[in-house]
Structure 1
Amino acid sequence: MILGVATMGWRNVENNLGSLPPAQRKIAEYMLKNKLESIFLTALQLGKNAGSSEASVIRMASNLGFSSFPDFIKSLQEEAKDQLSTLGRLQTHKLQPQTGGLIARVINSDLEQAKESLSTVDDETIKKLAAKICASDAIYIVGLRSTRTLAVYMEYYLSWFFTNVQLPTTDTMGNHLVAAPHNSIVIGISYPRYTRQTVECITLAKKRKFFTAAITDSPFSPLAKAADMCIVSPCAHIAHIDSLLIPIGLINTLLIQVAEQLGPKALKRLEELERNWTDSSVYC
């Protein structure tokens, strides 16, 4: 049995069940009884399984406020992916139609979500966060579990230009904040299912009057609510994996903006680094 299928989409169905015409209500009741299986059926399959018709399925999606049946089903799928356990995600992945090559399926999943995210990217917020980073005396980046990779990546490139970039753990976060310069920034990174300890770290930093920022998938996420500002990009879930392609693209944008705001200082530092790498024979 798979637990944790999303409730928001289903609540919409439940709340509107009584107002649907009989044929559409029959479909909705079938979906509520077969939540996991139904979100991977076509309109034709769903109508047939529910003892109704494809046309009634499409009209039901419209009556529930969606522009099309695919939009309706996709919303349920995405919500389910956000809340399922890793086991549930893998089981759900096996239920989906498998078309195309292995590599193409994985990459296309990321590309589809990346295209959708372009309309939600806020350039001004990224510029503001870059300015805050440049003006800070110390930078603390908190990323746990899979997002630790994003935190390490971000720390690596920021360390080219700043001498005080830290990657605290939950065990050392309090120690870091006690010793941190007053003009420090604490950046938390977390995606569904949201690591509780990351939210706690940001909450602690804000309580101690440090400026806090979140990199997350929604302005309504627990991390975003705890921070002073947030930049948003979705995180795709492919089977049991958190695919971080889109978040790392956002972080790349932020890192480039930091260098642009540093201006001549960034160019000078890169020249120094290049000389050091050459003298040290870093590259073959």
Structure 2
Amino acid sequence: MADLVQKLQSNAFNLTDAQRRIAEYVIQNPMDVAFLTVDKLATMVGTSTATIMRFSAAVGYSGFSELQKELQASMKHKAAPQTRLEANLKSTTKSELMHQHVEQQYNNIQSSLDSISAETLQEIIKLIAESDQILCTSVRSGRPVGEYLSLGINRILGNSRYFNADTTDWVEDAVTFHASDLVIAVSYPRYAKRISQLLQVAKAAETKIILITDSYTSPVSKYADYILPCPSPSIGSHNSIVSAILIADYILSALAINYPERTKPRLDKINSILTEMSYHTK
């Protein structure tokens, strides 16, 4: 999307009035343009398909389909699941699904690693270790990440709870949010309003916030003290959590390794109780 906007801006003076109208519509409605037919777009803008084709050439594309393909690549993972699936059905080959899946996840992980500095991760580990209470929250596709982090942190440090932000049960606990607490939120497209509401309350209480989301431009990023961008595109219809789980797993490992004086005694006690219960099979 950023590349397309740059092309539109650099060619603005060469566009006709009708083409400028198309450019404005593209910038304001990228999701629609990414998946509309050229005929439908012409109707929406009030112009002809020929004008749209000339517009595409004027801003540096071989045709509207090439312009649309670039938009789809940047927007499809933020669309509704059925829209993502429709777009992916056009761009995937069934005989190469595994290869395309692995390539997509590799790109997600690499993008996440490129976006998160070692210094930021160190600060986050230190913040988690020093917080009184750690409250993990998420909804829907982000829920496995939030629950995994909460379970892991609580096993290691004993001061983490999980909130499903889709329910209002967190409201009673939110009134006790304190500056010494920490909220770790997971939010993916299409960004649930409940997460924003919870983070607003936490922010007002001066509670520190770590946000795991798909990019720095996420609409909930304005509430966060730390952002961990973990891209979520998949070759199906869902938000992928692979890159987020990698980062979450690293956080748990780093906590255990960096604070053994806290984690080892606790793990020993947990194991002792489980052993007395004959919890594990032999």
Both structures adopt the same fold (TM-score exceeding 0.5)? yes
The 1-side partners of 2:92 and 2:146 are apart by 34
The amino acid across from 1:253 in the alignment is Y
State yes or no: 1:234 paired with 2:231: yes
Q: What value does the CA root-mean-square deviation take over the aligned residues?
A: 3.5
By how many angstroms is 1:15 displaced? 3.7
Aligned counterpart for 1:122 among listed residues 117, 126, 138: 117
Aligned to 2:194: 197
By how many angstroms is 1:101 displaced? 3.6
State yes or no: 1:134 paired with 2:129: yes
SS in 2 for 1:213: strand
The 1-side partners of 2:206 and 2:111 are apart by 36
By how many angstroms is 1:223 displaced? 1.9
By how many angstroms is 1:157 displaced? 0.8
The 1-side partners of 2:156 and 2:172 are apart by 24
Aligned to 1:163: 158
Aligned to 1:47: none
By how many angstroms is 1:252 displaced? 0.8
By how many angstroms is 1:76 displaced? 2.8
Contact 1:143/1:190 (<8 A) preserved: yes
The 2-side partners of 1:280 and 1:73 are apart by 60
The answer for unaligned runs of 5 or more in structure 1 is 1-5, 39-49, 62-69
By how many angstroms is 1:249 displaced? 0.3
Aligned counterpart for 1:257 among listed residues 248, 254, 257: 254
Alpha carbons of 1:279 and 1:228: their partners in 2 closer, same or farther (altered >3 Å)? Answer: same
Percentage of identical aligned residues: 20
State yes or no: 1:91 paired with 2:60: no
> What CA deviation, in whole Å up to 9, does each residue of 1:231-259 have, x standing for no partner?
22222233211111001001111111222
Alpha carbons of 1:177 and 1:37: their partners in 2 closer, same or farther (altered >3 Å)? Answer: closer
State yes or no: 1:174 paired with 2:171: yes
TM-score w.r.t. the length of structure 1 is: 0.74
Aligned to 1:188: 185
Aligned to 2:222: 225
By how many angstroms is 1:10 displaced? 4.8
* Mapping of residues 33-72 of structure 1, within 5 Å: 35-36=34-35, 60=60
The 2-side partners of 1:266 and 1:274 are apart by 12
TM-score w.r.t. the length of structure 2 is: 0.74
- Pick which of 246-255 and 165-174 moved more: 165-174
The amino acid across from 2:230 in the alignment is S
> What CA deviation, in whole Å up to 9, does each residue of 1:76-101 have, x standing for no partner?
33322233211110110111141644
SS in 2 for 1:141: strand
The amino acid across from 1:125 in the alignment is T
